[in-house]
């Protein structure tokens, strides 16, 4: 089965995958990380979509969506129509990410055309992690990420370790000058079948009669069917936390497909993010909310302060897991012109006209 999206609205399968986030050993290790024991079955992780401008706080007033307010009928109609579209070059989009498959036992190099031992089509952006030994930090191959939660420096061994594969770091280091966009072009008169393509800038996409769907390159969540989920669910934090309670990574993925509605490649990217955040941010989240609140799912503290600065738990997820998620997913709320339940400065939201797909 390929990364291509099938026609129709349903993505879920009945198979219970056992997969996870460790790229070097397939998804088997991720299952181990996902099952820390009976206590962790009760822990619900707050997993917002990571930030693309995580070091800057806009002077604009933060904006956010209220999931208690019903979406306008026009948005609901658009989401319904988007669910019935079909991406025809999903494999091409995924392969351009150039991730290592991590399936060293079989020598598999193209995770988009066959499943690994755990049933995942795609690879974790977090494993194998990029490591570099240095004589001087200033001479590292890539600039240091803007937030120290994204990496480790071992001064004794003179080594730099990034929480992600090398393509993730290469991309993350160049965001300041990145003008790429992901765009859509339908190939039939009914506007069902379409292609995604990454362009160097918005003008290039418009010149070739493509419609921009989000900022930066295309990825596993760039499909119009996944956009439909984002449009229909202003707050994905709550359903993601619910799915994050599943014991195995395969269970998390299945929940994200069946309960949230993500297509399989996008659900796998979210699963990798959830599992990695469990590894990196458990202590931070328990310290911020308190063990009892975490165990009882009473984590209703403010996501951010009045200036848009995230609380320590969400900030840990944003910086430790965010770069890998953003790189592989491609689409996030803010780079798709959508607000979320987490209040963000308006300057961080990239303007996109999604109604243009069917005009």
pLDDT in tens, 128-177: 999 999 999 999 999 999 899 899 999 999 999 999 999 999 999 999 89
Q: For 279-326, how does the pLDDT look when each residue is reduced to its tens digit (9 = 90+)?
A: 888 787 788 667 766 665 566 666 666 666 777 787 788 889 999 999
Which residue in this structure is represented by tokens 């990574």?
A: 249
Of the candidates 264, 294, 292, 219, the residue with the CA atom closest to the CA atom of residue 49: 219
The more confidently predicted of residues 16 and 248 is 248
**CA–CA–CA angle 345, 347, 350 (5° rounding):** 115
Note if the bond before 303 is cis, omega within 30 degrees: no
pLDDT score recorded for residue 110: 41
Q: What percent of the chain has pLDDT above 90? A: 52
CB 333 within 8 A of CB 49: yes
Q: What is the mean pLDDT of the chain?
A: 78
- Token pair of 101 as six digits: 């498959």
Q: What is the DSSP letter of 260?
A: I
pLDDT at res. 308: 63
* Beta-bridge partners for 182: 198, 214
Long-range contact set of residues 196-201: C-beta below 8 Å, sequence gap at least 24: 196/87, 196/89, 196/90, 196/93, 196/222, 196/223, 198/96
Whole-angstrom Cα distance, residue 338 to residue 320? 23
Q: Are strands 131-133 and 159-162 parallel, antiparallel or unpaired?
A: antiparallel
CB-count burial class (<10 Å; 0-12, 13-18, 19+) for 177: exposed
What is the model's pLDDT at position 11?
36
So where are the chain's domains? 24-358
Q: In terms of pLDDT, which residue wins out, 5 or 114?
A: 114
Amino acid 112: pLDDT: 45
Give the residue ranges of DSSP H helices in the chain.
Answer: 28-34, 73-83, 90-95, 166-172, 202-207, 224-232, 237-243, 249-255, 264-289, 291-295, 312-320, 322-329
Torsion over CA: 304, 301, 332, 160 (sign): positive
Higher pLDDT, 125 or 340: 125
- pLDDT digits over 256-278, tens only? 999 999 999 999 999 999 999 88
3-state helix, strand, coil in the chain (%, to 5): 40, 10, 50
Of residues 352 and 44, which shows the higher confidence score? Answer: 352
């Amino acid at each position: 089965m390929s990364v291509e999206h099938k026609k129709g609205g349903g993505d879920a399968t009945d198979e219970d995958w056992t997969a996870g986030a460790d790229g070097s050993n397939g998804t088997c290790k991720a299952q181990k990380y996902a099952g820390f024991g009976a206590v962790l079955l009760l822990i619900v992780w707050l997993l917002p979509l990571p930030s693309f401008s995580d070091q800057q706080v806009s002077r604009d007033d933060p904006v956010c969506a209220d999931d208690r307010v019903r979406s306008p009928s026009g948005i609901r109609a658009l989401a319904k129509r988007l669910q019935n579209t079909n991406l025809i070059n999903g494999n091409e989009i995924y392969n351009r990410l150039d991730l290592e498959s991590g399936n060293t036992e079989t020598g598999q190099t193209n995770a988009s055309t066959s499943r690994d031992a755990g049933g995942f089509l795609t690879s974790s952006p977090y494993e194998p992690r990029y490591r570099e030994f240095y004589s001087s930090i200033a001479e590292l191959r890539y600039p240091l990420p803007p937030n120290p939660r994204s990496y480790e420096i071992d001064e004794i061994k003179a080594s730099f370790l990034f929480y992600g594969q090398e393509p993730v770091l290469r991309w993350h280091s160049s965001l300041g000058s990145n003008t790429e966009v992901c765009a859509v072009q339908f190939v039939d008169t009914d506007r069902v079948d379409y292609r995604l393509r990454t362009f160097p800038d918005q003008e290039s996409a418009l010149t070739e009669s493509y419609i921009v769907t989000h900022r930066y390159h295309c990825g596993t969540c760039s499909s119009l069917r996944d956009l439909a989920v984002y449009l229909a669910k202003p707050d994905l934090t709550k359903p993601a936390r619910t799915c994050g309670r599943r014991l195995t990574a395969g269970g998390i993925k299945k929940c994200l497909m069946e309960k949230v509605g993500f297509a399989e490649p996008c659900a796998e990217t979210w699963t990798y993010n959830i599992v990695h955040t469990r590894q990196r941010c458990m202590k931070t989240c328990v310290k911020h909310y308190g063990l009892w609140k975490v165990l009882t799912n009473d984590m209703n503290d403010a996501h951010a302060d009045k200036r848009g600065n995230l609380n320590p738990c969400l900030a840990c997820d944003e910086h430790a897991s965010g770069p890998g998620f953003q790189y592989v997913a491609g689409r996030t709320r803010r780079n798709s012109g959508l607000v979320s339940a987490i209040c963000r400065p308006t300057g961080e939201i990239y303007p996109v006209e999604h109604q243009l797909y069917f005009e």
